[in-house]
Amino acid sequence: MVSFWWRPLGIVLGLAVLSLLLSGQFGTGSGWKLFVGGLGLYLFYHLRQLQRMAQWLARPERSPVTSDGVWGDVLYRLDKLLRLRQGAQQKAAADLEQMLEATRNLPDGVVILDESNRIQWLNLAAERFLGVSQERDLGQFIPYLVRQGRFVEWLNREDYAQTLAMDSPVSREKHLSLQLVPLPRLQKMLLARDVTDLARVDAMRRDFVANVSHELRTPITVIVGFLEAFDDMPDPSPAEFRKHIPLMREQSDRIRRLVDDLLTLARLESEPETKDETVDIPALARRLASEAEAMSQGRHRVTLNLESQSRLIGNSQELYSALANLVSNAVRYTPAGGHISLAWSATENGGMGFKVSDTGEGIEPQHIPRLTERFYRVDRGRSRASGGTGLGLAIVKHVLQRHQSKLRVESTVGKGSTFTAVFPAERVIPGKRPDEQAIGE
């Protein structure tokens, strides 16, 4: 900084003193000549430096010219400033590129539109959801590409608070939720979100509520019908009332069973994991076999084949509820005289299977994949007549899933069905085969 002012001033003053001395010695003319000549040279030096600087500034990416004195100082500062700015610019460009890259791969579709709805930029999800293409459609009017009337009308309304729900122009299976976001310079951002899964869950929830209401309405109507009839009787006799109790009880049982199953499902859904313990499946199987006999009331032959004494790691209550459902189905869907057999045996890869076979009516193949859906029944009337809720196999599937296990269904119409709960090796606590047990053990 010091050299900045004092050095040029010193040079000019020195020149002036030298000229004065010279004019004293050789006359004023020589003094002036020296002064003007010296100033001229000094000016030429500065102009030359200025020119070099101008040349460098035209292409500052080259290494800067070196100089001393005032110019050295100026050039050093200028160079530092330029490099600082260059660094900031490079960082801003890298940040922008990173942002664009992230937006390009966003799971939501993003399209930037100008004030007349021409496409400025779009990301990969937008290509997939809206069928527009970064390569082909830049600069195109989006209403010409996404032609659904509702979309065009919504876009023109420019109501930033209102979303639009529509099917994807690419596939009617895909449901989208669109939103507009204002951007600077009259541009706007069109956001497209894939809400297919949400829509599916919503539809399932609606179906479920409709099904539950429908299932409950019939028994409630029956009971209310009787109550109203009695209420209308001027002098109802106890005998008259008693006559209808069995039917009312049957309908109340139906409601209770439905509510019980709904609660079981709700509990399974609300508790993310099973509380594991050791479950003595052979003991559980004996209990289920005697329950099957009780349910059958002598109409079927019930057999139990315990090929293994292995136990399971799992939740005994949940497993009881699942396996009891399989057993009660076998009893209910097998005509009198049939045979129901339960078996506990090893499956492939060290797993175990709980098998419930019947010689019942069997199930046509097209129904099998849907049996575990809530309220799905092959024969609604038959299921109801035998006290079914249509939720049993949904509970079975849920319980088995929580035990990393699977339900296997094999069936032949007219011959019978076999439902097997297949448990993975990780849940098996191996036990001896019964014939390996020492007597008296």
Ligand X SMILES: Nc1ncnc2c1ncn2[C@@H]1O[C@H](COP(=O)(O)OP(=O)(O)O)[C@@H](O)[C@H]1O
Binding residues for ligand X restricted to 396-435, rule: CB under 6 A: 417
What lies within 8 Å, CB to CB, of 11 at 6+ separation is: 42
Which listed residue (152, 295, 378, 422) binds ligand X by CB under 6 A?
378
Distance of closest approach, residue 418 Cβ to ligand X, in angstroms = 9
Q: Which whole-number Å values give the CA distances from 196 to 131, 209, 238, 269, in the listed order?
A: 17, 20, 58, 22
In degrees and rounded to multiples of 5, residue 131 shows phi and psi of: 75, 15
Which listed residue (168, 329, 357, 411) binds Mg ion by CB under 5 A?
329
Which listed residue (296, 308, 389, 405) binds ligand X by CB under 6 A?
389
Tokens linked to 32: 């002036």
Tokens linked to 6: 């004092």
Binding residues for ligand X restricted to 308-327, rule: CB under 6 A: 325
Residue 31 vs 388, nearer CB to Mg ion: 388
d(CA 327, CA 421): 12
Name the segment binding ligand X (CB under 6 A); options: 43-51, 109-117, 125-133, 360-368: 360-368
Rounded to the nearest 10 degrees, the angle between the axes of helix 281-296 and helix 316-332 is 30
Name the segment binding Mg ion (CB under 5 A); options: 81-89, 200-208, 328-336, 351-359: 328-336
Q: CA torsion 273→326→260→317, rounded to 10°?
A: -40
Binding residues for ligand X restricted to 322-351, rule: CB under 6 A: 325, 329-330, 333
Which listed residue (377, 398, 402, 427) binds ligand X by CB under 6 A?
377
Asked if residue 284 lies in contact with residue 316, where contact means CB atoms within 8 angstroms, the answer is: yes
Name the segment binding ligand X (CB under 6 A); options: 201-209, 218-226, 295-303, 385-393: 385-393
d(CA 269, CA 399): 10
342 binds, among Mg ion, ligand X, none (CB under 5 to 8 A by kind): none
268 counts as binding ligand X under rule CB under 6 A? no
353 counts as binding ligand X under rule CB under 6 A? no
117 counts as binding ligand X under rule CB under 6 A? no
Which listed residue (127, 137, 318, 361) binds ligand X by CB under 6 A?
361
Tokens linked to 314: 């799992």
| DSSP string of 285-316, one letter each residue | HHHHHHHHHHHHTTSSEEEEEE----EEEE-H
Please report, as ranges, the residues that interact with Mg ion according to CB under 5 A.
Answer: 329, 392
Please report, as ranges, the residues that interact with ligand X according to CB under 6 A.
Answer: 325, 329-330, 333, 358, 360-361, 363, 371, 376-379, 383, 388-394, 417
